[in-house]
Amino acid sequence: MGTWISSQADQIAARAERDLEALVAISSPSGDAEGAEECVAVAGALAPASATVERRPCSTPGHADDLVLGLSGSGSGRLLLLGHLDTVIGHGQHRPLEHDGDRLVGSGTIDMKGGDVLALGLLRALADRTDDFAEIALLLVTDEEWRSAPFAHADAFAGWDACLCFEAGQRTPDGDEAVIVRRKAAATLRVRASGRAAHSGAAPERGRNALLALTAAAQTVAAASTPDGPDRLTAVPTIMRSGEAFNVVPGDGELFCDLRSLDAGAFDAVQAAVPAEIGGVTLDAEFIRRWPAMDSRAATAQLLMTAGEQLGRPIVAAGRGGASDASHFAPAIPLTIDGLGPRGGGAHARDEYVLTDSLRSRAEVALAIADSVLIDT
């Protein structure tokens, strides 16, 4: 392993738990501006003193502005680091950081405040290498977990030399370090139902039951799922809301479905399968968010080989089904690599955790890849 990688990994690991504790202490579910602002303040405090601080409008209206921490140098390369500060767990279920054996347990640890800590550590490590780059930016968004509008930042960084995203890391079955260079496309399909309310005891026949129509629509969506097919399409109903009283035929409601596929075009067939009317209830199916697929295997192959040589152990290209903001940058930045965060599990659940020893090993991976990017540019 290179001397610079080893020494900087030591420094990142020495403070990673403390930095993670500070970020996880803040409950910051998507849409909570106060929590997001607290996270922004902590991230700014953890950044190198030479970093500029910029706020840019979030993609989703009503969210706190996103954060961009920047470094300027005299070289030629431009490197984007990427993360998000929002989490899924609500305030009532929020869990501050706790030690549990070899785990650091807490809300947002693996998705993705652990990754944010490593990205901030990498930014500090690069702050003294200004001869090796022209620009480095760390973009931390506040709406990744529940975005309801098109992504706002891809054009601003188009043409940069590389994008490194710090979603959760992983190992191969053989124990090698893996990074993510392929992701499925993702979409959220919303089905709105408009029926007719009626007294469920005195005159149920006068109603048009939105709940029943949405149930049928959910079954239609689920039937479209073909995870073993060529596109690996999954179509999963996840949320349904309908009805306000136990003695009233529900007149309206909505259904949300999560779609994933290697080909985003497969989503259109799922939408088209939802009928416009069921039992006198009008159904309107629309996409409220749609994320592109990512496939940077060819573009990153040589870089990963070089980084593995710098690291002293292999770095293997892998894929993952979950969505990530890296997918938005991959079309404009061919050298896009994701999965640079620590290893762990339980994302979006109360027992979410990071494996403590992975904070150092994954810092080494990120440092080796960043070093290889700077060498190549």
CATH number at residue 97: 3.40.630.10
Query: How much is the pLDDT for 376?
Result: 74
C-beta of residue 108 within 8 angstroms of C-beta of residue 353: no
- Average pLDDT in the chain: 96
36 and 154 in a common domain: yes
Over residues 50-63, the mean pLDDT reads 96
Domain finish residue from 276, 291, 306 = 291
Q: 115-119, 345-349, 363-367: which has the minimum mean pLDDT?
A: 345-349
With CA atoms as reference, report the closest residue to 260 among 286, 294, 284, 283.
294
Q: What is the domain extent for residue 173?
A: 3-184+293-376
Q: Which secondary structure element, helix H or strand E, spans residue 296, and what is its range?
A: none
175 and 202 in a common domain: no
With CA atoms as reference, report the closest residue to 121 among 232, 269, 16, 44.
16
By the 10 Å C-beta count (0-12 exposed, 13-18 middle, 19+ buried), 249 is classed as buried
Domain finish residue from 272, 291, 310 = 291
DSSP state of 112: I
Task: Kindly indicate the confidence band of residue 321, based on its pLDDT and cuts at 50, 70 and 90.
Answer: confident
> Which residue type sits at 271?
Q
Query: What single string gives the DSSP state of each residue in 173-216?
Result: TTS-EEEEEEE-EEEEEEEEEE-B-EETTT-GGG-B-HHHHHHH
> Cα(285)–Cα(203) distance, rounded to whole angstroms?
29
Query: How much is the pLDDT for 322?
Result: 77
> Cα(93)–Cα(273) distance, rounded to whole angstroms?
37
Domain finish residue from 260, 291, 322 = 291
Q: What number of other Cβ atoms are within 10 A of residue 1's Cβ?
A: 13
Per residue in 127-159, is it b (16+ CB within 10 Å) or e — as a string? bebeebbbbbbbbbbbbbbebbeebbbbeebee
174 and 51 in a common domain: yes
Query: How many helices (H) and strands (E) in the chain?
Result: 8, 21
With CA atoms as reference, report the closest residue to 85 among 127, 132, 133, 32.
32
Q: Which residues fall within 8 angstroms of residue 242, CB to CB, at 6 or more apart?
A: 193, 210, 211, 214, 250, 252, 253, 254
Query: How much is the pLDDT for 360?
Result: 97
Residue that is written with structure tokens 């901030």 in the block: 120
Task: Kindly indicate the confidence band of residue 73, based on its pLDDT and cuts at 50, 70 and 90.
Answer: very high
> Cα(249)–Cα(204) distance, rounded to whole angstroms?
7
Query: How much is the pLDDT for 2?
Result: 86
175 and 189 in a common domain: no
Over residues 25-47, the mean pLDDT reads 97
C-beta of residue 182 within 8 angstroms of C-beta of residue 94: no
Residues 138-187 pLDDT 10s: 999 999 998 878 899 999 999 999 999 999 999 999 999 999 999 999 99
With CA atoms as reference, report the closest residue to 143 among 62, 81, 71.
62
The pTM (predicted TM-score) of the whole model is: 0.88
> Cα(191)–Cα(312) distance, rounded to whole angstroms?
51
Q: Give the total number of structural domains in the chain.
A: 2
58 and 132 in a common domain: yes
Query: Cα Rg for the chain, rounded, in angstroms?
Result: 23
Would the pLDDT of 275 be above 90?
yes
* Angle, helix 33-46 to helix 3-24, in steps of 10 degrees: 150
285 and 350 in a common domain: no
Beta bridge partners of 194: 252, 282
325 and 216 in a common domain: no
Task: Kindly indicate the confidence band of residue 193, based on its pLDDT and cuts at 50, 70 and 90.
Answer: very high
86 and 35 in a common domain: yes
Query: How much is the pLDDT for 265?
Result: 93
258 and 200 in a common domain: yes
Task: Kindly indicate the confidence band of residue 323, based on its pLDDT and cuts at 50, 70 and 90.
Answer: confident
CATH number at residue 200: 3.30.70.360
Query: How much is the pLDDT for 232?
Result: 93
344 and 205 in a common domain: no
C-beta of residue 211 within 8 angstroms of C-beta of residue 250: yes
167 and 73 in a common domain: yes
108 and 32 in a common domain: yes
> Cα(345)–Cα(111) distance, rounded to whole angstroms?
9
> Cα(342)–Cα(361) distance, rounded to whole angstroms?
8
Pairing of strands 336-337, 78-84: unpaired
Identify which has the larger pLDDT, 147 or 299: 299
